[in-house]
Amino acid sequence: MATKRKRRLRKKLYLEEFAVFGFEFTCKSKIKSDEETDHLLDAFLEFIESRNLMCGGGFSLEEFSGFLCSDFRYRSATDEDRSAVEAWLMAQAGFSGVVIGELVDANYGI
């Protein structure tokens, strides 16, 4: 049986109408130098910031992966954001094998 919660508590817990969604991405890296890495990561951050997204993740010589969600408190990433990020990553010569995950609850992973 579902627990009935007041609106204030649902908001505080990011539940129901206040749930925030984001998505994972993974791609293989073909980057060979630190300078190229810095340039590509700066360009990626500039791109996601232009879409009001924020990213948590990691970069190694073999792989670039992370989780993207909205930079605003009670907004979610959208399918348009997923498509745009996929297109941007695929357009970069330094990345291959781009995989974009489905939208999932950023707080509870469901």
Domain-located, residue 86:
yes
| Residue-averaged pLDDT of the chain | 92
Cα 61 to the chain's mean position, in Å?
Answer: 20
What is the model's pLDDT at position 110?
A: 73
Q: What percent of the chain has pLDDT over 70?
A: 98
One-letter identity of residue 42: D
Domain-located, residue 5:
no
Domain-located, residue 59:
yes
What is the model's pLDDT at position 105?
A: 96
Query: Going by DSSP bridges, is the β-strand pair 53-59/95-100 parallel, antiparallel, or unpaired?
Result: unpaired
Domain-located, residue 79:
yes
Q: Given a cut of 70, is residue 2 above it in pLDDT?
A: no
| Gap between the Cα atoms of 46 and 53, Å rounded | 10
At 49, which CATH number? 3.30.70.100
What is the model's pLDDT at position 18?
A: 94
| Gap between the Cα atoms of 53 and 103, Å rounded | 14
| Gap between the Cα atoms of 59 and 72, Å rounded | 24
| Gap between the Cα atoms of 47 and 2, Å rounded | 40
Overall domain count for the chain: 1
pTM for the predicted model, two decimal places = 0.89
What are the tens digits of pLDDT across the range 24-66?
999 998 888 888 888 999 999 999 999 999 999 988 878 999 9
| Gap between the Cα atoms of 7 and 94, Å rounded | 46
Helix (H), strand (E) at residue 59: strand 53-59
Domain-located, residue 7:
no
Name residue, tokens 């995950």. 101
